Structure 1
């Protein structure tokens, strides 16, 4: 990492570059980013409102949908307004402590979302492998408890990262070559040995990404084994209840995996590609989750269709 020298100083603020190397294209890049951001906001609020208004959706599984929607909304609001202010107004300053808060929110809520997907995998496992006892095992209190545990886990795992960074008072620069306060991007600027922080970050990443992925894959292996024992018609119907969850998982983990692989092994990949991928894994799930669950849930589709029909043919 860095070593103490006369050029080290304590910054009162950091400067976020945006997309390094593509500053001349920031205005054009902002168009798809803003479109995705706006679509994600509208989509997630729509899902929440429909689930709240539609009494037939007042079931334990849909509590997860609401939790995912709120997490996606928080993730989108944590990074995109600041990024758009950089793109449009070159307002790239962020205070030291605001940077640490943004770092915590980005990593904590990504971890919480992973925990929610893990809980949903367990829900599908019980629904397919033990359907007669589903209503007894998966109750509203169990759903809420799993959501609270996912939140606590996210806080406990991620809180050490900004707290450990806070102990560093001297930095070699206050210019962050990133579009938001990502842990490693800030850690590279410290004017001291930050290897311990690096190891903590890698450990947390392993515990979340690898362990959650293994548990989710294990649950679906067991689900597939149960599906093979069913008739073709029952198998198709049961799999239909899992497909939206599988799609949402792929939308969440694929960008993270690609970003991690490029970050660790893509030494010849341009730096702006790293930053674009880091933004993609924060933007894609909030955009696609409402579409995935909206398309797969009949009541949500019908509510949206009814809404647009009323708008098109007013009485």
Structure 2
């Protein structure tokens, strides 16, 4: 057990509780989560390889899909080590420095996913509302700048949190709620006045997830307005169909985020397992489902996958 009063001399060690009360089914949970990670890895790597190899997919929309796939791989890799340590190796201890690093990457990839989804909404807005200017607005240079801006914003807003956490003292025990480290989960163990971190975290969520969701909604209001002005019903359906995949991945990301927020705010009386499962869904669902959505809903990617695995002649 760590001497919390001597935390300056010795780095704290946190305990990842994982799934309290479900220790007897850890082997089944291990299989379930390994399958989820396997689907996420294979799906996103397949999407990336198809877009990389097929020159006809070297277009703005597919570049953004590639960014999303890379982000989903990063999110999966961020949570995988501690998840396996808890479920497979029965080794729930994690050094504070490793915990800070993990929460930094988890939150960075979370905000980066939101940024990429916003960039994809802008792509669909330009494609439908300004189709004649699409190629001149979204050049390779502009796409590169958008991707860099998304990355720098996500890194910039998350970086202060682990730096502040390193200077806090922890005296409220050392057991975290999940099988991975999250900012608020670590923060609640602090006996130092953590108002700065708490307020900063709330401001970051509002300035990133909140603002991004509003701009995505505005983009689709403008898109719907433009599409309804198209005379042909067939063209309307075609326009809406080009947005269907993106709408699905937006819902896959934001619905669990909202669910986690509601459970955290109003579900304090619920079982800890509910909170844990909601957090796992929030972090694992997008990496698993996003490649499936684009494989099923996007014809060019679907045909590329079939060709890659020799199930169809090259189109």
State the partner residue of 2:243: 242
* Pair 1:181 & 2:162 matched: no
2:172 aligned counterpart, secondary structure: coil
Equivalent runs, 1:45-84 vs 2, <5 Å: 45-84=45-84
Distance in 2 between the 1:250 and 1:86 partners?
30
Distance in 2 between the 1:187 and 1:61 partners?
39
Deviates more, 1:81-90 or 1:217-226: 81-90
Indicate if the aligned counterparts of 2:4 and 2:12 stay in contact, CA closer than 8 A: no
State the partner residue of 2:307: 306
Distance in 2 between the 1:24 and 1:102 partners?
27
Distance in 1 between the 2:157 and 2:120 partners?
20
Distance in 1 between the 2:90 and 2:200 partners?
33
- Residue 257 of structure 1: CA displacement? 0.9
- Residue 44 of structure 1: CA displacement? 0.4
Equivalent runs, 1:216-227 vs 2, <5 Å: 216-227=216-227
Distance in 1 between the 2:34 and 2:91 partners?
16
Distance in 2 between the 1:88 and 1:79 partners?
14
Equivalent runs, 1:15-94 vs 2, <5 Å: 15-94=15-94
- Residue 7 of structure 1: CA displacement? 6.1
Deviates more, 1:172-181 or 1:95-104: 172-181
Q: 1:64 to 1:181 in 2, by over 3 A?
A: same
Q: 1:244 to 1:7 in 2, by over 3 A?
A: closer
Q: Which runs of 5+ in 2 are unaligned?
A: none
Distance in 2 between the 1:118 and 1:156 partners?
18
Q: Which runs of 5+ in 1 are unaligned?
A: 1-5
Distance in 1 between the 2:104 and 2:114 partners?
15
- Residue 272 of structure 1: CA displacement? 1.6
Distance in 1 between the 2:64 and 2:20 partners?
37
CA displacement 1:156-214 (0-9 Å, x = unmatched) = 11111111111113433222122111111111111222122111111111222211111
Distance in 1 between the 2:152 and 2:278 partners?
27
State the partner residue of 1:3: none
Distance in 2 between the 1:122 and 1:307 partners?
30
Equivalent runs, 1:151-230 vs 2, <5 Å: 151-230=151-230
Distance in 1 between the 2:100 and 2:195 partners?
18
CA displacement 1:237-276 (0-9 Å, x = unmatched) = 1111110000010111111110111011112111121111
Distance in 1 between the 2:268 and 2:172 partners?
23
Equivalent runs, 1:272-287 vs 2, <5 Å: 272-287=273-288
Distance in 2 between the 1:252 and 1:9 partners?
41
Indicate if the aligned counterparts of 2:85 and 2:91 stay in contact, CA closer than 8 A: yes
Distance in 2 between the 1:164 and 1:177 partners?
20
Q: 1:310 to 1:218 in 2, by over 3 A?
A: closer
Indicate if the aligned counterparts of 1:44 and 1:70 stay in contact, CA closer than 8 A: yes
* Pair 1:145 & 2:145 matched: yes
Distance in 2 between the 1:146 and 1:206 partners?
20
Higher RCO (C-alpha under 8 Å, 6+ residues apart): 1
- Residue 116 of structure 1: CA displacement? 0.5
Q: How many residues align?
A: 306
State the partner residue of 1:121: 121
Deviates more, 1:108-117 or 1:14-23: 14-23
Distance in 2 between the 1:135 and 1:307 partners?
28
Q: 1:137 to 1:110 in 2, by over 3 A?
A: same
Indicate if the aligned counterparts of 1:8 and 1:172 stay in contact, CA closer than 8 A: no
Distance in 1 between the 2:253 and 2:203 partners?
20
1:89 aligned counterpart, secondary structure: coil
